[in-house]
A and B are shown apart, each in its own frame.
Chain A
């Protein structure tokens, strides 16, 4: 069996930052593996560990810098990795869902996995749509927001986490794409040995040509036209001072509300 896991290097914004045009200055960004993808990688690796002959391939769309992130997936047990990038990507402000779908669908068509795992959403652009979109593009079945996954011969039994503490139990035909919710497992830390081994694993670069695509695959009618700090709707009273002073002011307010009164 082959499992393809999509991973994304996400940008996290520091507490204080500045917006410059349609982006945030690199100085205020830190990069990390998307939280939801970490759980997807763990799920794939656990499936591989519990069965014979399972290959885990991770795929990312990202510049060379993102190899650092994808090595995390390799260090945690993915067998090899694919990194999709092309110079043409540099000028794109926003890779929309359809463009990501075209790229990842082409990878699925080349790799022919039995199962694709993705995160529910990426914490930076927050589309929450790529996995299901790819499923439709490649003709796989799917389920979104999965927090339990059990594979059988030709179907998977999944739980989908709905709102309000309700879970849906669903049987899904394979091959399928599942978008993985946090909490499905406990992602491991990469061991030193894993990190060392990851250095030797293959990260295959793939450009548009390799995927049988051209620059039009990136075309999108969706254009990023503005970026700003949200206007704070806050009318919060912010207590000023050191920890002792602010705690004392807060304590006064809390007491006024009857908190702590026995």
Chain B
């Protein structure tokens, strides 16, 4: 059984999930004694191919075409590669770019799509583990098909590191006709005064705070602790704090000594930005909130009762 994994890169660097895709792909290929093929599309493909020549990879296919991700190119190239290799499993990342081409590829190839897989097994067919209801429930799905498209969640498989001896070859593909979308450039989200990535202690506030007025309470706590204030996404979406305070996948990655999550559920995109903190503390009313899975210390309780007491302790 052949597995084909599609690497992810941006602005000259392979993204971490590319190395994780190799581990995940090898896991599936091992289950059936098959081959793992990896493809890398656009950018400095030869350089990427060197990095993707990892233990467990049988072949690397390079598709030269433009510098950066364009979903029309990706979709076309993956479909062409699929036609050639007919992999049983087509593995793609559940990254923002993955979200932008994987569903189109699955539809075009008439493949069932299992998105955001966090684990899988292959016996007679694929059994994948996915989360539902904002990570409160874990499900298994069985796929009764000879071919399947899967996108994997970043950070769930260890990154492959050891150099291998894969066969590297160029795959000839160029899109037909005009592209329906054109990437014009990139911009860094800026603005604001504070660099939360520099802080040793972060008090981070989430939707549990309910109202903008209530932010004062956590500001007071941050002051009392000598900490910097950060937040989950909904607080920024609501315009209560500027974008440079947002922790997470689309915000900042922070690694403070202490991260105090107040009224934050711990959605995967939030955790992506703070799981590297030394000590994680959570205050949340919901004992099942996923934040407790990565917390070192927790209080299951109402922030409106706990935070004032905590302020008291430090003043």
Q: Which residues of A are interface residues toward B (Cβ below 8 A)?
A: 11-13, 15-17, 19, 24, 94, 96-98, 101, 120, 123-133, 135-137, 141-145, 159-173, 176, 179, 182-183, 186, 220-230, 232-239, 243-244, 246-248, 250-251, 253-254, 257-262
- Given A98-B113, A251-B313, 18 other A-B residues pairs in contact with their CB atoms under 8 A: A124-B132, A136-B108, A162-B10, A162-B96, A165-B189, A168-B186, A170-B184, A171-B181, A183-B236, A223-B142, A225-B141, A226-B139, A227-B139, A230-B135, A236-B298, A247-B306, A251-B310, A257-B279
The residues of A that contact B100 with a CB separation of less than 8 Å are 132, 142-145, 160
Instruction: List 29 A-B residue pairs with CB atoms under 8 Å apart, sorted by A's residue number.
Output: A15-B287, A17-B136, A17-B288, A24-B137, A97-B103, A125-B132, A126-B132, A135-B104, A136-B104, A136-B108, A142-B181, A144-B96, A161-B96, A162-B96, A163-B250, A165-B250, A169-B184, A171-B182, A222-B114, A222-B143, A223-B142, A224-B141, A243-B302, A243-B305, A244-B309, A246-B301, A250-B281, A258-B257, A259-B227
- Beta-carbon nearest neighbor of B315 in chain A: A260
From B239, B281, B309, contact of A248 by CB (8 A): B309
Give the complex CA separation of A222 and B312 in angstroms. Answer: 54
- Beta-carbon nearest neighbor of A171 in chain B: B182
From A165, A173, A232, contact of B251 by CB (8 A): A165
Q: Is the CB of A164 within 8 A of B253?
A: yes
Give the complex CA separation of A251 and B309 in angstroms. Answer: 10
- Beta-carbon nearest neighbor of B118 in chain A: A230
Q: Is the CB of B180 within 8 A of A260?
A: no
Give the complex CA separation of A234 and B297 in angstroms. Answer: 10
A129 and B96 contact, Cβ closer than 8 Å, known pairs A24-B133, A222-B141: no
Q: Is the CB of A225 within 8 A of B140?
A: yes
Closest CB in chain B relative to A86 CB, distance in Å? 21
Q: Which of B268-315 contact A (CB under 8 A)?
A: 279, 281-282, 285-288, 290, 292-302, 305-306, 308-310, 312-314
- Beta-carbon nearest neighbor of B100 in chain A: A144
The residues of A that contact B282 with a CB separation of less than 8 Å are 236
From B144, B183, B238, B287, contact of A169 by CB (8 A): B183
B161 CB–A CB distance under 8 Å: no
Q: Is the CB of A169 within 8 A of B186?
A: yes
Give the complex CA separation of A37 and B60 in angstroms. Answer: 39
B101 CB–A CB distance under 8 Å: yes
Give the complex CA separation of A261 and B225 in angstroms. Answer: 8
Give the complex CA separation of A159 and B250 in angstroms. Answer: 13
B102 CB–A CB distance under 8 Å: yes
Interface size of B by CB at 8 A reads 98
The residues of A that contact B75 with a CB separation of less than 8 Å are 136
B170 CB–A CB distance under 8 Å: no
What 6 A-B pairs are tightest by C-beta distance, nearest first?
A247-B309, A251-B313, A243-B305, A129-B103, A226-B140, A183-B237
Q: Is the CB of B180 within 8 A of A173?
A: yes
The residues of A that contact B116 with a CB separation of less than 8 Å are 126-128
The residues of B that contact A15 with a CB separation of less than 8 Å are 285-288
Q: Is the CB of A259 within 8 A of B137?
A: no
From B189, B233, B234, B312, contact of A166 by CB (8 A): B189
Q: Is the CB of A166 within 8 A of B141?
A: no
- Beta-carbon nearest neighbor of B190 in chain A: A165
The residues of B that contact A164 with a CB separation of less than 8 Å are 249-250, 252-253
A141 and B292 contact, Cβ closer than 8 Å, known pairs A123-B134, A128-B115, A228-B137: no
Q: Is the CB of B127 within 8 A of A225?
A: yes
- Beta-carbon nearest neighbor of A127 in chain B: B115
From B132, B181, B279, B308, contact of A172 by CB (8 A): B181
The residues of A that contact B298 with a CB separation of less than 8 Å are 234, 236-239
Q: Is the CB of B186 within 8 A of A167?
A: yes
- Beta-carbon nearest neighbor of A146 in chain B: B100
B50 CB–A CB distance under 8 Å: no
Give the complex CA separation of A144 and B143 in angstroms. Answer: 26
- Beta-carbon nearest neighbor of B238 in chain A: A186
Closest CB in chain B relative to A154 CB, distance in Å? 11
- Beta-carbon nearest neighbor of A145 in chain B: B96
